[in-house]
Amino acid sequence: MSALHSLEAEIAGCRACAQRFAATETRHAPRPVTRLSDTARILIAGQAPGMRVHESGLPFDDRSGDRLRGWMGVDRETFYDRSRIAILPMAFCFPGYDAKGADLPPPRLCAELWREKALALMPQLRLTLLVGLHAQGWALGARRGVTETVAAWREFGEAAFPLPHPSWRNTGWLKRNPWFEAEALPALRARVAAWL
């Protein structure tokens, strides 16, 4: 078994947040969801799985994933081809809901425990899609909001591309920021196509 496969198996068995998740409204057990690869050139660094992904075990297996695939210009088969696209979110498990039914923030513990180890075993990566504020803050040290970071996508070179979260809750954001679809998405699709 390769070092990467061993690490992914170790991550799958992680229960570091078991007590934290048991204390949420959902009272769920950890279920880490990643897709590591030693050949993929593209990495998707999201925030954390939602409840549907927690249940299926397949990253972005929801409407947010449909939107993200549309932004990237890829179909489901390409998106889930581990040899072409790796997925390493900031938190690997669904963080749960609070008492009001809102998503809890992704715990930093996953990134602190596993992120550097996983990235060290994937030196072939050439393009990282930074989906949402948590991924942008970790990778870019971003001290600005999502809108300002995404609007500055040209500043981050060819290796990183910041994106808003593809949640359907962000439909209003997309309407208020038409430059994203007009300018950023064509550039994103071109970069994705180049590395596929």
Instruction: Provide the residue ranges of all domains of the chain, joining segments of one domain with +.
Output: 3-195
Note the pLDDT of residue 102.
Answer: 81
pLDDT score, position 153: 95
Q: Which portions of the chain are predicted below pLDDT 70? A: 142
Angle at the Cα of 192 (from 88 to 103), degrees rounded to 5?
40
Fold adopted by 3-195: Uracil-DNA Glycosylase, subunit E (3.40.470)
List all residues 6 or more positions away from 92 whose beta carbon is below 8 Å from its beta carbon.
Answer: 11, 14, 32, 33, 34, 48, 49, 110, 114
Whether pTM > 0.75 for this model: the answer is yes
pLDDT at 148: 94
Position 14 scores a pLDDT of 94
Q: What is the rounded average pLDDT for all residues in the chain?
A: 93
In the numeric block, which tokens belong to residue 42? 């593209």
